[in-house]
Structure 1
Amino acid sequence: MVIPSVFSQQWLRTLLALLTGTCGTLAFSPYDFWPAAIISLVGLLMVITFHCSSREAAWLGFLWGFSLFGTGINWIYVSIVKFSDLPHLVNIGLIALLVTYLALYPMLFSTILVKLWPHSNLCRLVLGAPTVWLITDFLRGWVFTGFPWLEFGYSQIDGPLKGIAPIFGVQAITFVLVIVSGLTATAMIEQKWYLALSALALLLFPWPLSFLHWYQLQPERALNVALVQGNIPQLIKWQPRQLELILNIYLQRTLPTFGKAQIVIWPETAIPDDEISQNVFLTQFDKQLRAQHTRLISGIIDIRPTSHHYDAYNSILVLGEETPYFYPSKNRYQKYHLVPFGETIPLENLLRPLSSLFNLPMSSLSHGEYLQPQLQVAGMKLTAAVCYEIILGMQVRDNFHPNTDFLLTLSNDAWFGDSIGPWQHFQMARMRALELGRPLLRSTNNGITAVINANGIPQAQLPQFTRDVLIARVSPTKGITPYTRAGYWPLWIFGTLLGLTALVIDKRYLTSSTRSMYPNK
């Protein structure tokens, strides 16, 4: 094996880990340079292979992860600065702490990989790496309620591996990316260029799948939808004296859509008050909507008194259906997966004092049910998700039904200003449409409001930071994708078998190497 002498120096490997980790951010929106994901993964795999102990691998994996997440999720800093009363250095420290935590997962990946496959590069990088990556990505999306942001599969929504998503899901795209990167890294390490050709072939082989549609359009059932982007500044949204102004903004842009759209959609908590307090307004507006044969979907907070105090839910409400609105109507969705410190406090008894440092209006919300009925709107059935939930593929799939007509997500990314965060969120929402073969209706406060077709491609969208209405004619689809039927089970079965095979081959490699060194034993 020929090893470039440049990698024998620790400082150069450290630099490469930092640079290729940073490069990974370029694969995601708004940069959308999907090959950067391969470059980034190849860099990680190479630096933990050259004369690398498990301790060195852990350190290099950590540095790679720190640079990836440090450049890729620093947009969270915007919300901390704008909506907390913390000193500047504390704000930086909190982001550094989060990035450090997330970097532990690439560190875990690198450590396990070097420990389990210490001998054969091909086994380690091509067979073992995708299995270990699958496990560590799962852990990152599960521990402490999970933060599955910057999964590399999402970056391929416009790449040649796109067609894998409706068959095996986004995690399978990541799995294949790691194999491609492992083949490329091995080819560069051992200078066996047939491996590079194999990597290219594996990258391009699934490309024709992107032209295969697992759904059928139903143009005879098409309808017009109007998505209202209110562009309400987050700093004033929850101020009681601004409530009337905000409602007027939405009403002024909704009334002209009567007769043009069958469904009007307002974003997450578009009505910045609780549902009971707004009962008179909702009842009157429901009557007006029914008279115009128009339905409204809106985000609102539902506060329900209980024996112990009250439960507050981040809800989606439907108005204008044939049955007059009454509280609490059943045609609603209540957010299940709450954002830590934004909507709920993990380990509340211990960490509740920390929440008082943040200016967050709704940090004590209650969880809705994991499985909830579909919304019934204008004869259509919608599988709903609120904001962050749209990135949770399994939750959306588990709530999906064969007779679902559309996917729906309401969001408010005003927390993150003019950063890359909302674009990454939008990219992940597109993947849900692709995986499940259904158009996605996405209404947001300040962007990116869009209609995404069942192939994951934006059909129409509004510019960010504008106050406008997006009217689009959307056809529902029918049909079930393989991913919808089986979920991630085929991937996990295959990944487990691949990992076990790699362990067996590596062990035999060690045995044969020992025998060749000591032929008389």
Structure 2
Amino acid sequence: MSRLTTAARLLGRALPPALIGGIAVFGFAPFSFWPLLPLSLALLFGLIDVAPTPRRAAYIGWAWGLGYFTGTIHWIFISLHTYGGMPAPLAALAVLLLAAFLALYPALTAWAGKRLAGQSRAALLLCLLPALWLLAEWLRGWVFTGFPWAAVGYSQIPDGPLAGYAPLIGIYGVSGLIALVGGIAAWLMGRRFDRVDGLALAGVLLLGGLGYGLKQVAWTEPSGKPLKVALLQGAIPQNRKWGAEDLAYNLDTYYQLVGKAKADLIVMPETAFPIFLHDMDGYFPEVLDGMLAHVAAQQAALIGGVPRLDVRSQRYYNGAVLLSDPERPANYKAHLVPFGEYVPMRPLLAWVYDNLLNMPLADFSSGGPQQAPLKVRDQRIAAHICYEDVFGEELLPNARQATILLNLSNLAWFDGSVALAQHGQISQARALETGRPMLRATNSGTTAAITPDGHYQARLPERIEGTLYAMVQGMQGNTPYLLWGNTAALLLAALGLGMGWWWRRREAQRP
């Protein structure tokens, strides 16, 4: 009976923070109710503040994280079960285990904040928790190759008042500012309003006002002549993507779309050709030759997503290839998805693929961190593939050389879910951070042209076959984030930790 009582007590303590974390999914696209994230963190920090011990605070942070990550990345279930063939109970368990692991980051934030703050509420809420939150999200972006999806800063993109800070301190810096607003709100809870509280509230208003002012700054300037771009969306269901019997359907879909497109640059999405490029040349020359004849007739360029095999090394790459150039220059995917594009710890985990999953082309090689941009007329295009644009700092070396960013994706693995809109919001953040236009050519959504200030210039509805046209102006010059990367955000975190230590000592020395 005592065990049941203990379990019920633990569940009762976990439920409120888990619900507070779970509703935060509505702060991201496609819902985009950005005030939810500061509110959710304010409630979380308030619970951490009244927790009696660091251990209890860690449990509260973990429960919040479990609700938060289950809500924001539940769509992984679709890829594992519907298309990957994993039994539904195992797929659900895998998603829950991933959410439970990611929840360790807010748990460690809560534990460390409570431990370091001692009895000082000011140090905890105004300094330590915001700084530690920023650091935790940064760590989540690279530990075990990283999984920075759903950083709270994305909720501000593009219309939140703190979005203007992204070109200076990046998405992690924006996350830290959201945590600061949440900390100030938690600080004000349950207090009599006095002059100090007035100053804190004025600080929030100043932060938002300055962010709005920064959104008016043009960090970069036009470069070259605009391109008329045609972004193709085939809307091929994932269950018709890789079957040998569906190959003709795949190739004909994009053959027809390319043949109707009229633009300076025509772009097909990731793995538009679901076979190796040399197989296209060898077995389907009429398809590729027909496409190239069409683009040559209008002096256009054609970029397509296609797997490419290096015959000498027998390695293959997920690439964005400039097919209209006889040299076939390409940008290859550098940051691969573990368990989706390569098998980590293969001797131990190969059995997962042999027995539980059906994932085609699960042994890609990385194309390397720095690659030359693709040249189209007087524009330089830095292409990246699908999930890797969630790693903002990793894109900077290529973005500095480019005037336009391009993302090729196939999110049919998650069709019908919020993953498509969330990924579009991530691309909006990359455009805003770098001051470059971002083009998205996807199989099923979100196919879009994004302006350098992070707004959609044009986009196609999800899951329909079509072509999106846009006039895109390349940009040159550097935003502060393009120069500094995450350095400025980490310095702010270090400043917050230092101020928290000072504030705790100052309060401890009072009579």
Which of 242-251 and 100-109 deviates more?
A: 242-251
Deviation, structure 1 residue 51: 4.2
Structure 1 vs Structure 2 CA RMSD? 1.8
Q: Alpha-carbon deviations, 1:384-422, whole Å to 9, x = none?
A: 1100011110011122225x2200000000000101111
Q: Alpha-carbon deviations, 1:192-238, whole Å to 9, x = none?
A: 442334333323332111111112235x6012110110011111111
- Residue in structure 1 matching 2:218, options 191, 213, 216: 213
Does residue 164 in structure 1 map to residue 170 in structure 2? no
TM-score (normalizing by structure 1): 0.91
Deviation, structure 1 residue 19: 2.4
Distance 1:451 1:367 in 2: 27
One-letter code of the match for 2:74?
Answer: N
The equivalent residue for 1:476 is 474
Deviation, structure 1 residue 317: 0.6
Distance 1:345 1:353 in 2: 10
- Residue in structure 2 matching 1:297, options 303, 309, 316: 303
One-letter code of the match for 1:388?
Answer: Y
The equivalent residue for 2:360 is 361
Q: Alpha-carbon deviations, 1:265-301, whole Å to 9, x = none?
A: 0000000100111124245643553243111100000
3-state DSSP class of the match of 2:160?
A: coil
The equivalent residue for 2:4 is none
3-state DSSP class of the match of 1:95?
A: helix
Deviation, structure 1 residue 83: 2.0
One-letter code of the match for 1:149?
Answer: W
Distance 2:146 2:501 in 1: 29
Does residue 107 in structure 1 map to residue 111 in structure 2? no
Q: Alpha-carbon deviations, 1:45-80, whole Å to 9, x = none?
A: 000111420110111111000000111110111111
Q: Alpha-carbon deviations, 1:427-483, whole Å to 9, x = none?
A: 001011111111111000011100001111000110001000111111222222111
One-letter code of the match for 1:130?
Answer: P
- Tell me if structure 1 keeps the 8 A contact 2:407–2:438: yes
Q: Alpha-carbon deviations, 1:83-125, whole Å to 9, x = none?
A: 2333322121111111111111111111111111121111111
Unaligned runs of 5+ in 2: 1-8
Distance 2:171 2:502 in 1: 28
Distance 2:397 2:52 in 1: 42
3-state DSSP class of the match of 2:278?
A: coil
Q: Alpha-carbon deviations, 1:321-361, whole Å to 9, x = none?
A: 3xxx25xx3x1011111111110111111111112211111
For the structure 1 residues 97 and 11, does the alpha-carbon distance in structure 2 shift closer, same or farther, using more than 3 Å as the test?
closer
One-letter code of the match for 2:278?
Answer: I
Which of 113-122 and 491-500 deviates more?
A: 491-500
Distance 2:27 2:451 in 1: 22
Distance 2:76 2:10 in 1: 32
3-state DSSP class of the match of 2:423?
A: helix
Written as runs of structure 1 = structure 2, the 5 A alignment for 1:6-405 is 14-157=14-157, 158-192=159-193, 193-194=197-198, 195-218=200-223, 221-257=225-261, 260-280=262-282, 281=285, 282=288, 285-306=291-312, 310-321=314-325, 325-326=326-327, 329=328, 331-356=329-354, 357-402=356-401, 404-405=402-403
**Percent identity (aligned):** 34
Deviation, structure 1 residue 131: 1.6
- Tell me if structure 2 keeps the 8 A contact 1:46–1:189: no
Unaligned runs of 5+ in 1: 1-8, 517-521
- Residue in structure 1 matching 2:487, options 486, 489, 494: 489
Distance 1:119 1:233 in 2: 56
Q: Alpha-carbon deviations, 1:4-25, whole Å to 9, x = none?
A: xxxxx99876443122211221
Deviation, structure 1 residue 378: 2.8
Q: Alpha-carbon deviations, 1:359-380, whole Å to 9, x = none?
A: 1111111111111111112332
Which of 27-36 and 91-100 deviates more?
A: 91-100
- Tell me if structure 2 keeps the 8 A contact 1:180–1:200: no
One-letter code of the match for 1:170?
Answer: I
Distance 2:55 2:458 in 1: 50
- Residue in structure 2 matching 1:422, options 420, 423, 429: 420
- Tell me if structure 1 keeps the 8 A contact 2:258–2:291: no
- Residue in structure 2 matching 1:499, options 487, 492, 497: 497
For the structure 1 residues 320 and 399, does the alpha-carbon distance in structure 2 shift closer, same or farther, using more than 3 Å as the test?
same
For the structure 1 residues 66 and 191, does the alpha-carbon distance in structure 2 shift closer, same or farther, using more than 3 Å as the test?
farther
- Tell me if structure 2 keeps the 8 A contact 1:23–1:39: no
The equivalent residue for 2:6 is none
TM-score (normalizing by structure 2): 0.93
For the structure 1 residues 52 and 191, does the alpha-carbon distance in structure 2 shift closer, same or farther, using more than 3 Å as the test?
farther
Distance 2:190 2:172 in 1: 27
For the structure 1 residues 13 and 97, does the alpha-carbon distance in structure 2 shift closer, same or farther, using more than 3 Å as the test?
closer
One-letter code of the match for 1:366?
Answer: S
- Tell me if structure 2 keeps the 8 A contact 1:181–1:199: no
3-state DSSP class of the match of 1:206?
A: helix
Which of 52-61 and 282-291 deviates more?
A: 282-291
Distance 1:51 1:28 in 2: 28
3-state DSSP class of the match of 1:337?
A: coil
